Amino acid sequence: MDADLEQLQHLESLSRQLDPGKSLRDHLTAMSFTHVSEFINSLPARKAYVKADCPELKKLEISDEGKSMDLLLKIVQNEVHHAGINAASGGHLGYIPGGGLWLSGMGDMLAAVGNRYAGLAFSGTGAVIMENQLLRWLCQLVGYPVTAHGNIASGGSMATLVALTTARDHHKINSANVRRSVLYFTSQAHHCIHKAIHILGLSEAVIREVQVNELYQMDVDALSQMIADDKLNGLYPFLVIATAGTTNTGAIDPLDQIADMAQSNGLWYHVDAAYGGFFMLLEEQKEKFKGIERSDSLVLDPHKGMFLPFGIGVVLVKDRNALLKAHHADAAYMVDTEGAEEINPADCGPELTKHFRGMRMWLPLHYHGVDAFRACLREKLLLCQYFHQEIKKLGFETGPSPSLSVTYYRYPAEDRNDFNKKLVEKLHEDGRVFFSSTVLDGEVWIRCAILSFRTHLEQVQLGIQMIKENLEKLK
């Protein structure tokens, strides 16, 4: 039977809707760009936090017929871009603020429209070269040798999963020995570590919470004692995890001393630098990270310290063979892809087909140059010191002078946990600037975390003013 050409033409005319021609394409692009550009212009006048329940979005059904771009952009504007915490706003001083560089937006568009296959050098040669160059630049930044490599994943949690998979396999932890294998980290380690441990089948291992000192840094003497005791008891210590910039307080563990411990006991040494790592771009900050170059693996989040949009986290592994061994898989249908000069990203993590994330980092990095990033990071450190100093003047009790760009404070009222919880609620209701709280040793503290590239003196001063006003209302 002949293929029905008429039917084919009919289907072609319908399916071409998915591929708008130049004039429609330009029109839709202009509408979208007007939308995002106005979004940015409106940020200074908008709150950093708005509680929302998004009725139009919930109502909108996926239908057989298409809808107008106008309608869709209105929903994005009213119920997506302005609902909840506005992570693009310079007034976001909670958790670890996110970024959203304009040039990364351009990069994402280039990556998505070009749709290069970034998993394999055979298919996406330029894309893979680009990602591998970025990885080499990051290896240099942290002082790793040329034999190190890594992977550009979707975030710090996925990057951590890749690092800990490599550690587990390198130490041959399996069902026969998992119950006597030991991992060490502190109460201040990020919860993505617990998640990774669970996913990796390490929940049955012995998990030691190492004590912290008054600055919430790992107590290395306690670590040393624990390792010695565990060895004496016939256990197998294999992994220690340090944090270079904790989410809670910005504390940096004593990286060099932990490296000594890891080295003399043959442990895999992982450093979580998801938040703090990019401060290493600043010459004057490097000393704080001394010893990071002695780690076996580490994680950096460009969607934090490089101000990129959410969705990019990097793992680096010093021994690239360990990384490849833990993640490379063969398949008969992939034989054409072998023998490329570049290491394939697909061999360095769980993803085969992946978002071409390198582009959103490469474009702003080359366009702006590294110095622009340095200035922005330096500004954030100074702003945090300024906040720390000014909040004290309002009568707040604070943590120590900030080691990076996170600081914490509370009002020394009677019944202070309750009072500070109420103050945070008030701050959230206000929403002009967004702060989040935490619990340290059972005590409620409010945090100020400065890392958005749009946070400048104006936003910090507004935050302080807002705290002052809400404090007075509560008192």
List contacts with ligand PLP (CB under 6 A). Answer: 96, 155-157, 190, 192, 243, 247, 272, 274-275, 301, 313
CA atoms of 342 and 270, how far apart (whole Å): 25
Cβ closer to ligand PLP: 87 or 423?
A: 87
Cβ closer to ligand PLP: 212 or 471?
A: 212
For residue 64, the minimal CB distance to ligand PLP (Å) is: 37
For residue 438, the minimal CB distance to ligand PLP (Å) is: 12
Cβ closer to ligand PLP: 301 or 347?
A: 301
Name the pairing type of β-strands 313-317 and 149-153. Answer: antiparallel
CA atoms of 402 and 87, how far apart (whole Å): 22
Cβ closer to ligand PLP: 111 or 159?
A: 159
For residue 278, the minimal CB distance to ligand PLP (Å) is: 12
Cβ closer to ligand PLP: 246 or 344?
A: 246
For residue 190, the minimal CB distance to ligand PLP (Å) is: 3
Cβ closer to ligand PLP: 182 or 251?
A: 251
Cβ closer to ligand PLP: 120 or 446?
A: 446
User: Using CB atoms, what's the residue nearest to ligand PLP?
Assistant: 156
For residue 468, the minimal CB distance to ligand PLP (Å) is: 29
Cβ closer to ligand PLP: 192 or 365?
A: 192
For residue 315, the minimal CB distance to ligand PLP (Å) is: 11
Cβ closer to ligand PLP: 236 or 268?
A: 268
For residue 274, the minimal CB distance to ligand PLP (Å) is: 4
Are residues 295 and 271 in contact, defined by beta-carbon separation less than 8 angstroms? yes
For residue 186, the minimal CB distance to ligand PLP (Å) is: 12
For residue 98, the minimal CB distance to ligand PLP (Å) is: 9
In this structure, the number of other CB atoms found within 10 A of the CB of residue 336 comes to: 9
